[in-house]
Structure 1
Amino acid sequence: MRNIPINDVDHIPQAVLALGSDYPADTLLDTHSHRRAQFLYAPEGLMKVETEDGQWLVLPYSGVWIPSGKPHQVWLSKVSTYSLYIEADYAPRQATYCEVIQVSPLLHQLLIQANQLPVDYQHAGRDGALIDLLLYELEAAPALPLFIPLPHNTLLSKQCAQFMEHPDIHSSPKDWAHDHNKSERTFHRWFKSETGMSFQAWRNRVCIVYALNALKENISITEIAFSLGYEHSAAFTAMFSKIMGYPPTHFQKRFHTHNKAL
């Protein structure tokens, strides 16, 4: 069913509720949480999810797993979403943090079909089998490296936020260490303790997310590479492919060809 708030049907004794919503461009859903776990999916457009842990970029043909009770904020471009709200005892993923999950063609079709079910569907028969298969597919779906952890230290978090606005592949940990009056070795340990990632891995992750946003806007690979500080697009492509498992051209085609998934 579509455009029905979860709070209106949350009382229904179904382990899984499938609800869809249509959002205008540049919609911001302020920080909130759900009693059930949520899987949020949009075949087209972009979404960004933010929690106290960091930010997740949700691309077309990927969705985000949001654990039950997890406060989160969501920004959406013009999208039509397909959500599952799942009771904790039936949750197919046990992570206590959000995850961006790859949506296969099968999972895509199952989500579309599930959103056509009435909220009081019968679990016996086809409807229940569809929901059961959805849960199995969600459990098996691989997570994508599209999470940017944010530090809890206020000054470091502010610097990270500024870097995320204007990422530079050549940004040096030596310079960051100087900014915080630390030795480079101490800074590396501090940064990892704050984010759970090395500085280089975090910097590369930010550049990847920036590049994916730009690819969605149909900006050329060469222009993206230069904007990130690369002298040649080949070096950017190599870094991108190593992290994402596919070259930028794969996502370029995916974003601008309808009904194509990974």
Structure 2
Amino acid sequence: MRIVDLTGHDKEGDDEHFASLSWIESSDEPVLALGRVYAARFRGQPHSHTKTQLWCARHGVVLVSTADGRWMIPPGHGLLIPAGLEHSSEMISDVRMHSIYVHPSAVTADGPRVLAITALAGSLIEELVQSDEKPLSPRRKRLIMELLLDEIGQLPERPLGLPFPGDARLGRLCRHFLKSPDANAGIDDWARKLGMSRRSFTRLFRAETGVSFVTWRQQACIFASLPRLAEGEPVTNVALDAGYENIAAFTTMFRRMLGSPPSTYLKSRAA
């Protein structure tokens, strides 16, 4: 198990990034654990693994992109990435990550999923990442790996994946929305921009993303707000900038999606 520092210049970071990928692919360990430190704005180039990856944010926020969508990993969460899926990443802030790599037969994944990391899973991963500094006996290491694989299957999923349409014009509207989220954005306005009827637009949107426009809009507002909240911006400012009339409406939607209000959620993630 190893810890990699990717806070250097872009080329140095890229070299270290691909060196660690080579190490991952060449290892025959049943479970690999890797700690990484990234500088804000570092971009990981598109790549894939022959192993399933659980990428966990200990500190900071990461945005992972594939051809079909984007997934945000805030503190206390992990992204399950299927083997063979090409993906890239962008660090929204300074980031400390822990990654677990396992054979695809040990952890199945049909697509990327954001999972809440339980205290037990976090502690088990920490033990493996730190095993170079604090060596584990073969028996303890095996028990930790077995328990971690079982715990991964119990981790609760969180709706922090945001599907992106393949349609170029609709995709441009979605990307603009993420830069300037608006909880009051209407179907008729988007349909008009695309020169479509309301009915045709709703059909296209669901066909392209797999969800309704209203559901996507709600997820996108929270998705766009999390990096600002993680950086410590006041909830009131973030809520109003996202188009919510008051903090109560934002808090209600936040609780519905993530299980707790913003203040409680952020404190628990930091802890």
Structure 1 length-normalised TM? 0.91
Question: Gaps (5+ residues) in structure 2?
Answer: 5-18
Residues 138, 154 of structure 1: alpha-carbon distance in 2 compared, 3 angstrom cutoff:
same
Q: Does 1:31 align with 2:46?
A: yes
Q: Alignment partner of 1:115: what SS?
A: helix
Counterpart for residue 73 of structure 2: 58
Alpha-carbon RMSD: 1.8
Mapping for residues 58-77 of structure 1, pairs under 5 Å:
58-76=73-91, 77=93
Mapping for residues 155-234 of structure 1, pairs under 5 Å:
155-234=169-248
Q: Which amino acid aligns with 2:217?
A: R
User: What is the alpha-carbon distance in structure 1 between the residues aligned to residue 243 and residue 187 of structure 2?
Assistant: 16
User: 216, 225, 250: which one pairs with 1:236?
Assistant: 250
Q: Which amino acid aligns with 2:201?
A: F
Does the 8 Å CA contact 2:77/2:116 hold for their aligned counterparts?
yes
Counterpart for residue 8 of structure 2: none
Instruction: Give the CA deviation at 1:22.
Output: 2.1
Q: Which amino acid aligns with 1:28?
A: R
Q: Alignment partner of 1:209: what SS?
A: helix
Counterpart for residue 29 of structure 2: 14
Does the 8 Å CA contact 1:148/1:205 hold for their aligned counterparts?
yes
Does the 8 Å CA contact 2:81/2:113 hold for their aligned counterparts?
yes
User: What is the alpha-carbon distance in structure 2 between the residues aligned to residue 174 and residue 18 of structure 1?
Assistant: 48
Instruction: Give the CA deviation at 1:82.
Output: 1.4
Question: Gaps (5+ residues) in structure 1?
Answer: none
User: What is the alpha-carbon distance in structure 2 between the residues aligned to residue 213 and residue 137 of structure 1?
Assistant: 27
Give a deviation string over 1:32-70, Cα, whole Å, max 9, x none.
111111111121111110001111110111011111011
Q: Which amino acid aligns with 2:167?
A: N
Instruction: Give the CA deviation at 1:13.
Output: 2.3
Mapping for residues 82-121 of structure 1, pairs under 5 Å:
82-91=98-107, 94-117=108-131
Deviates more, 1:147-156 or 1:18-27: 18-27
Mapping for residues 127-146 of structure 1, pairs under 5 Å:
127-146=141-160
Residues 184, 113 of structure 1: alpha-carbon distance in 2 compared, 3 angstrom cutoff:
same
Structure 2 length-normalised TM? 0.88
Q: Alignment partner of 1:169: what SS?
A: coil
User: What is the alpha-carbon distance in structure 2 between the residues aligned to residue 195 and residue 241 of structure 1?
Assistant: 23
Deviates more, 1:14-23 or 1:108-117: 14-23
Q: Which amino acid aligns with 1:195?
A: T
Aligned pair count reads: 253
Does the 8 Å CA contact 1:215/1:251 hold for their aligned counterparts?
no
Q: Which amino acid aligns with 1:78?
A: D
Q: Alignment partner of 1:90: what SS?
A: coil
Q: Alignment partner of 1:171: what SS?
A: coil
User: What is the alpha-carbon distance in structure 1 between the residues aligned to residue 44 and residue 64 of structure 2?
Assistant: 10
Does the 8 Å CA contact 1:122/1:128 hold for their aligned counterparts?
no
Counterpart for residue 3 of structure 2: 2
Residues 167, 88 of structure 1: alpha-carbon distance in 2 compared, 3 angstrom cutoff:
same
User: 36, 44, 56: which one pairs with 1:41?
Assistant: 56
Does the 8 Å CA contact 1:218/1:252 hold for their aligned counterparts?
no
User: What is the alpha-carbon distance in structure 2 between the residues aligned to residue 21 and residue 241 of structure 1?
Assistant: 30
Q: Which amino acid aligns with 2:96?
A: S
User: What is the alpha-carbon distance in structure 1 between the residues aligned to residue 246 and residue 155 of structure 2?
Assistant: 34
Report the identity percentage: 33
Give a deviation string over 1:117-137, Cα, whole Å, max 9, x none.
36xx99951111100111111
Q: Following superposition, which runs of at least 4 residues in structure 1 exceed 6 angstroms of deviation?
A: none
Residues 113, 54 of structure 1: alpha-carbon distance in 2 compared, 3 angstrom cutoff:
same
